[in-house]
Amino acid sequence: SGTACNVIPSNALLEGTARCYEEYQEEQTPMIINSVVEKICEEYKAKFKVQVSSPMQLINNDPALLTQAKKNITEMFGHDNWCDIHEPFKFSEDFSIYHKDFSALYLCIGTGKDRSALHTQTYDFNDNIIKKAILFWIKMTLDILYSNE
């Protein structure tokens, strides 16, 4: 629609994102967006076209893998190094596409409680967790390989 002030463009493009935590919300959101846009455009006698794509799907961790991960982390690094996340969350990751066809486990390997949050000016990656993360994933891999024998 341009950047000139005080000009009414003939076309405008509005883009946005919506994140849902339940499958029914994923289904309803496009209909709600379309309904809202339709009412606004009807009021102003404008035409509209709503396009919705949803490449990122919900991730539900495999319960057995999650149980094994918690066991391994608490045994290897102590109970203080495991944190249950009770609220659903959705990253803009393509991991959900792989998860669709296979049992999966999505974990957030943190850098410590007293560190700045990701994507902030003061964030500094804790290099000391790299070795621990590698050891954890090796242990998980071995557990899975030997459990299938």
Q: What is the pLDDT of residues 98-143, one digit of tens each?
A: 777 788 888 888 777 777 877 788 888 888 889 999 999 999 999 9
Q: Cα–Cα distance between 98 and 103 in angstroms, integer? A: 9
Task: Say how many residues make up the chain.
Answer: 149
Query: For residue 109, which of 90, 87, 135 has the smallest C-alpha distance?
Result: 135
Q: Taking a C-beta distance cutoff of 8 angstroms, is the pair 34, 51 a contact?
A: no
Q: Does position 149 have pLDDT exceeding 70, yes or no? A: no
CA distance between the termini of the chain: 61
Kindly give, in sequence order, each residue whose CB lies less than 8 Å from that of residue 103, ignoring residues fewer than 6 positions away: 62, 64, 65
